[in-house]
């Protein structure tokens, strides 16, 4: 199943790769990356939203759980999974399903996002948001 989904993600990646210089650079990086490099605690400023990514490997998808909402989300979102099926595509690039927290306390899948990691593995970007390793 993961292989079939990976093929779909690769198709999506290459269809939209021209939209993001960060995605191209991360995917084409000469640095050595493994799927597990995305695992860890990450914080985005200035909101101080903090997530823990775990479970990502060559054979398993990872998830991102909110450990501190900061000013980015309501307190009810704490402990929720904001990213699911985090999948290493190539180089320093991962795809994931993004989930949105709604004010009624539910979560819904809203998009597929790309995570573009720096060569030194100290940060990654989702769009313009920069998540720094803690």
Residues 82-102: tens digit of each pLDDT: 999 999 999 999 999 999 999
Q: Across residues 104-123, what is the average pLDDT? A: 96
Residue 36, classed as helix, strand or coil, is: helix
DSSP 8-state class, residue 99: E
Q: Are 26 and 94 in contact (CB under 8 A)?
A: no
What is the per-residue pLDDT for 125?
A: 96
Give the pLDDT band (50/70/90) at residue 2: low
Using the predicted structure, report yes or no on whether residue 23 has a pLDDT greater than 90: no
pTM of the full structure: 0.82
Count of CB atoms situated within 10 Å of the CB of 96:
25
Helical segments of the chain, H only: 2-16, 21-27
Lowest mean pLDDT of 16-25, 32-41, 70-79, name the range. 16-25
Using the predicted structure, report yes or no on whether residue 19 has a pLDDT greater than 50: no
């Amino acid at each position: 199943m993961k292989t079939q989904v990976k093929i779909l993600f690769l198709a999506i990646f290459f269809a939209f790769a021209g939209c993001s210089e960060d995605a191209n650079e991360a995917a084409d990086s000469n640095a050595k990356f493994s799927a597990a490099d995305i695992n860890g605690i990450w914080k985005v400023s200035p909101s101080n939203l903090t997530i823990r990514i775990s479970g990502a490997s060559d054979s398993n998808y990872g998830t991102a759980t909110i450990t501190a909402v900061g000013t980015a989300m309501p307190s009810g979102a704490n402990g929720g999974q904001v990213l699911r099926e985090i999948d290493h595509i190539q180089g320093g690039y991962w795809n994931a399903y993004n989930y949105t927290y709604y004010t009624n306390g539910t979560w819904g899948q809203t998009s597929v996002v790309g995570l573009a990691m720096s060569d030194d593995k100290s940060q990654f970007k989702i769009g313009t948001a920069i998540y720094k390793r803690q």
